[in-house]
Structure 1
Amino acid sequence: MARMAEGAQDEEQEKRLGPRELLNTAYERIVADQKIEGGGSTACVAVGNGDGNLTVANLGDSGFVQLRLNAVNYYSNPQTHAFNTPYQLSIVPPKILALSRAFGGGPLHDLPKDAGLTTHAVRHGDILVFATDGVWDNLSPTDLLKIVSRQMMGFQAWTNGEKGTEVSEKIHQLVQGGGIAKPTEDNLQATLAVNIVGEAKAASMDTKRDGPFAKEVQKHYPDEDWHGGKVDDICVVVAVVVQDRKGSR
């Protein structure tokens, strides 16, 4: 991510990179760094602009959802080679490569160009949730909608109006620092992210609640008798789309 930030700052504003180009720039810098011997990662990168257009490059089993006024407007599908084998960018150490060749095989090796690219139109009041598989293995898009809707209605960012659920004028204040009276998560987006992390962690440690991963195991390997959550890395970034007074988002 640090390399991606460097790549974005190197570009002139009129030559703004898209998410897949940003991903490729960062990957090339990592590969060229001799201090990094090996490793791998999935990635979900989004670039938005003021006219409400969002472009997302997703590689592997991280992903995102777009929520709009008590509805799931869009959710990404994971990229996998097989069950529980996600696409990921990787640097494979020479010793591992040699060992793989000795046994007549080779490690899976995906590139930024393999990332799925999607474009989306966002609206005032939309919630964008980007997260790693520790969330998606344990919570469905509908689960996330329930968590987010509860918070949005509780803080009156969304309200019930004559035409159904509406975006409140209060949302402008809530997304600012200090918009929510908490010492750390003092704005709406941070509060949403922390709540999702908490719910995902609780679900991952629940041995009785079957999440999306457990249901997939049961479908692919019915003899495994897998039940409950799946403990894994959990990282969440939340963006709240707010239209300013000039019309940009």
Structure 2
Amino acid sequence: MLSSLAGKLQGKTKFLIDVLKFYNTGLLQSSSMSGVGKRRDPFLVKVVQGRSRQRSICSAKDNRYGEDSWFFSSTPKAEVMGVADGVGGWSELGIDAGLFARELMFWCSNYAKRENFDGRKPLDLLIESNSEIKGKTNPVVGSSTACLVSLNRRDCTMHSANLGDSGFMVIRNGRLLHRSEEQVHDFNSPYQLTVVPNERLDNVYCDRPESADSSRLPLQEGDLVLLATDGLFDNVPESLIVKTLSKYQGVTRKEDLQLGANSLVDMARDLSISPYFESPFALKAKFYDMDFPGGGKPDDITVLLATVAVPRDV
């Protein structure tokens, strides 16, 4: 009789265990960004637009708009966006600074695609790429600002490394959540990575990649991430950028998001040639007590725009 009772209890226990297993399995399979069970890691829907001061040097295919260069990278672990702005002063020496910016973004893109890169240390991309360029027998000469943002897909956290006066913004629910700080030595003299002929070493700024400003920011589904060169930020006030992009909050259709990037570039171009508009660049000139007639600042413009998205069940 006791053995019979023990058998019945054992059977009921097994049944309860099976029920719990079935229930827990269902919960795990239905979880999304919680980090439990079947994951649906976030990703970035990305678009780019730009305009060169000299229309002859403008090619999205070559990831270049004038002296600006950019890249996108997407792996199972990380999403990365980068932009670089070649310092135009080199043109006075017959050197195309856009080549240095393009070389820098080329190597950053290569290192971002490595299997072990998870987006947590974009500064490492700058350090390694700078070393790669300087280590060549005949390196590309020039200098450039650089701004990298990377999304760790597992925890939906964005990490950044910004050197100079390019930068990024994060917009949530139509409001500015975060904006990077520009780094300048003086008016219109940004921090920059540089490779120069030895005889001119004392005449230019040569900053180390480790000087880049770094940040960490948790993101949410629907957040907008804007990355751009100073051709945008010097001509379009922050409030106008946020207002323009608020209508694209949460947009995940690439064609629609592209309209947002296009509108910013068109706006920056129009304001850059306005002799009357009190641009952010004109306000900086006043702050530094510089002789600037006012209006906008003609420049190359590059805009990278992305929405944080989460995969959906088919």
Asked if Structure 1 and Structure 2 have the same fold, meaning a TM-score greater than 0.5 normalized by the shorter chain, the answer is yes
Which residue matches 1:240?
307
Bigger strand share: 2
Q: Using the aligned pairs only, state the percent identity.
A: 31
Deviations 1:156-207 (A, max 9, x none): xx5xxxxxxxx5xxx44x13xxxxxxxxxxx233222221111111111111
Mapped pair 1:213 → 2:285: no
Which residue identity does 2:220 align to in structure 1?
A: R
Q: Supply the distance in 2 between the matched residues of 1:122 and 1:238 (Cα, whole angstroms).
A: 15
Mapped pair 1:80 → 2:184: yes
* Candidates 29, 39, 48, aligned match of 2:151: 48
Q: Supply the distance in 1 between the matched residues of 2:176 and 2:218 (Cα, whole angstroms).
A: 14
Deviations 1:77-132 (A, max 9, x none): 100112211100000112212xx4xxxxx532101101000011111111111000
Q: Aligned pair in 2 of structure 1 residues 225, 39: CA closer, same or farther (>3 Å)?
A: closer
Which residue matches 2:220?
123
Q: Aligned pair in 2 of structure 1 residues 14, 211: CA closer, same or farther (>3 Å)?
A: closer
Which residue matches 1:136?
233
How far apart are 1:139 and its partner, in Å?
1.1
Q: Is the 8 A contact 2:120 2:159 kept in 1?
A: no
Q: Structure 1 unaligned runs (5+)?
A: 101-105, 153-157, 159-166, 176-186
Over 3 Å off, 4+ runs: 14-17
RMSD between aligned residues = 2.0
Which residue identity does 2:256 align to in structure 1?
A: L
How far apart are 1:221 and its partner, in Å?
1.5
The alignment partner of 1:245 has SS state of coil
Which residue matches 2:110?
6
| Alignment: residue pair count | 208
Q: Is the 8 A contact 2:120 2:152 kept in 1?
A: no
Q: Aligned pair in 2 of structure 1 residues 49, 17: CA closer, same or farther (>3 Å)?
A: closer
Q: Aligned pair in 2 of structure 1 residues 245, 199: CA closer, same or farther (>3 Å)?
A: same
Which residue identity does 1:231 align to in structure 2?
A: P
Q: Aligned pair in 2 of structure 1 residues 14, 214: CA closer, same or farther (>3 Å)?
A: closer
Q: Aligned pair in 2 of structure 1 residues 134, 225: CA closer, same or farther (>3 Å)?
A: closer
The alignment partner of 2:297 has SS state of coil
Q: Which has the larger radius of gyration?
A: 2
* Candidates 184, 188, 205, aligned match of 2:256: 188
The alignment partner of 1:232 has SS state of coil
Q: Supply the distance in 2 between the matched residues of 1:64 and 1:140 (Cα, whole angstroms).
A: 14
Q: Is the 8 A contact 1:8 1:17 kept in 2?
A: no
Q: Is the 8 A contact 1:38 1:90 kept in 2?
A: yes
Matches within 5 A, 1:193-208: 193-208=261-276
Which residue identity does 2:243 align to in structure 1?
A: K
How far apart are 1:142 and its partner, in Å?
1.0
Q: Supply the distance in 2 between the matched residues of 1:225 and 1:35 (Cα, whole angstroms).
A: 38
The alignment partner of 1:228 has SS state of coil
Q: Supply the distance in 2 between the matched residues of 1:212 and 1:14 (Cα, whole angstroms).
A: 36
